[in-house]
Amino acid sequence: LVAGEPNISYICSRYYRAPELIFGATEYTTSIDIWSAGCVLAELLLGQPLFPGESAVDQLVEIIKVLGTPTREEIRCMNPNYTEFRFPQIKAHPWHKVFHKKMPPEAIDLASRLLQYSPSLRCTAVSFFFSCCLLF
């Protein structure tokens, strides 16, 4: 990835695709990989994919069912060029209810820091690595 250079938005397996890619962003960072890592972590904890969308639109619906409807600001953070905003207002599902089994609170906290709408709010690869070291 080169800063300022456009990229393609149709990358990554659907279940692990960051929301900014679904919104068609062509300028993104390695935070898309952090999102994917969060999806993999959630799948390991749940034993099944967290966001099992059957299409790009359905993928976004699955994400909204857990994270709630993104705000206009969150959408701008994901793709400043995205102007369509017609989503039902859905509240975020509390993380402790998403991971209904008894899970270590540290694992739930890590998943919540990886799976943020705003790419800049996701934890970094370094903090992810050290969080994983503390979990295991």
Q: Looking at residue 46, what is its pLDDT?
A: 93
Dist. CA 30–CA 126, nearest whole Å: 12
CATH of the domain at 42: 1.10.510.10
Instruction: Specify the pTM.
Output: 0.84
pLDDT above 70: residue 5: no
Domain that holds residue 69: 14-135
Query: For residue 66, what pLDDT is reported?
Result: 97
Half-sphere exposure of 105 (CA within 13 A, CB side): 0
* Per-residue confidence band for 11, with pLDDT thresholds at 50, 70 and 90: low
Say if 51 falls within a structural domain: yes
**Burial environment of residue 76 by CB neighbours within 10 A (0 to 12, 13 to 18, 19 or more):** middle
Region 85-99: mean pLDDT is 88
- Asked whether residue 24 is domain-assigned, the answer is yes
Residue 135 structure tokens: 């979990």
pLDDT confidence band for 23 (50 / 70 / 90): confident
CA distances from 95 to 58, 65, 80 (A): 21, 12, 28
Tokens of 81: 């060029």
